[in-house]
Amino acid sequence: MKMIVLWTDALVYLLVIGLVVWIYFFRKTQEWRLILAQLKKRPYYLVALLILMVYGIIGILDSIHFKTASNEFAVRSVLDLLLSPYDHVSEVTYSAPFATHSAEPQVLKTEDGHFAEVYPKLKYFHFLGTDKIGRDVFYLAIKSIRTGLVIGTVTTLVMLPFALLFGMWAGYFRGWVDDIIQYIYTTLSSVPGILLIAGAMLSLQPKIEADPDIRLLILCVILGVTSWTTLCRLLRGETLKLRSADFVQSAIALGVTPLKIIRRHIMPNLMHIVIITVALDFSALVLAEAILSYVGVGVDPTAFSWGNMINAARLDMAREPLVWWSLSGALFFMFILVFSANIFSDALQKAFNPKEN
């Protein structure tokens, strides 16, 4: 067994380390105590946090990859070991949730030598059923969690520097700096995001089609570069207000350099906006991956993702009898993640804005 580290794996590890460090220092602040108070006051916030933690653990387990000595070309993860034997095509074709036999008849030879249509018994129990080629829907949905988390978190990592830098510069320096930055994000906002992403992905198609991990990483970069404008607007407006505050004007009068003012006075007072907006944008990015994969410009078609599951389920919904469980499985897991993220972002908003309680 040989451990390997993909590009997205390395970013996941860095994000986990950064989150641990942030929690270690943030737990001493007043905002941390307010968040804990919100969790105690409203138990459903705690439930949402626990669900997010479960999703996060699954994503981390699926980011620990290795190759076995028996097949050095196959890349597996710790999650694959835990979900064995569902990590391969285990049945012949469709089977409904909680079923014991296949949903489609097969022509098989009976003991007396005749051929008859029978519903073969399933090898394993699949409480979410199987797809057309016999893959377990639950396994596909669980494996898609990592893709959704990588899209949401890595894209945020790419987006934040642009939004923070340009937003604070535009609000603090004003004048021609503000005009240039406003022109940039107004131009980006005027072009439909799906067209920018589709154009970028299609232009890079020859270089990324051979490596699904590189394609996922480039998709995160493209989403980050094209989605920083909303947060930048918010930070620009808040920086304009902070620049007129007495403590900032006093620092300017004392000759403090703009860099120190931004670092010591502006940025700390913007972090509540950043945290709340990032928590809300995470949900939008998870949904964006599903839409992009559905239209064919998202992650690699062979990769595990809810968008690919939804795309593959299009023809299933037109069958008779209706095959609904593949689409429902993807939508259910995606809904739980997005809903929990939105609930927890509400807890963050109330913690950073106590007047709303």
Query: Looking at residue 210, what is its pLDDT?
Result: 64
Q: Percent of the chain, pLDDT > 90?
A: 6
Q: Which two tokens stand for residue 63?
A: 């980011």
pLDDT digits (tens, 9 = 90+) for 223-249: 888 888 888 888 998 898 888 888 888
Query: Looking at residue 44, what is its pLDDT?
Result: 84
All structural domains of the chain, each given as residue ranges with its CATH number in brackets, are 140-356 (1.10.3720.10)
Residue 73 burial class via C-beta count within 10 angstroms: exposed 0-12, middle 13-18, buried 19 and up = exposed
Query: Looking at residue 50, what is its pLDDT?
Result: 92
Residue 117 burial class via C-beta count within 10 angstroms: exposed 0-12, middle 13-18, buried 19 and up = exposed
Strand partners, 76: 66
Distance from C-alpha of 60 to C-alpha of 285, rounded to nearest angstrom: 19
pLDDT digits (tens, 9 = 90+) for 41-86: 788 888 888 999 999 999 999 988 887 766 656 778 888 888 876 7
Distances (CA, A) of 168 to 53, 235, 352, 353: 32, 6, 20, 21
pLDDT digits (tens, 9 = 90+) for 312-350: 887 777 777 778 888 888 889 989 988 888 888 887 777
pLDDT digits (tens, 9 = 90+) for 255-280: 888 888 888 888 888 877 887 788 77
pTM: 0.83
- For 303-314, b/e burial (b = at least 16 CB within 10 A) is bbbbbbbbbbbe
Query: Looking at residue 336, what is its pLDDT?
Result: 92
Which has the closest alpha carbon to 281: 345, 238, 335?
345
Would you mind telling me the total number of residues written for the chain in this entry? Answer: 357
Contacts of 323 (CB under 8 A, 6+ apart): 94, 103, 132, 313, 316, 317
Query: Looking at residue 72, what is its pLDDT?
Result: 59
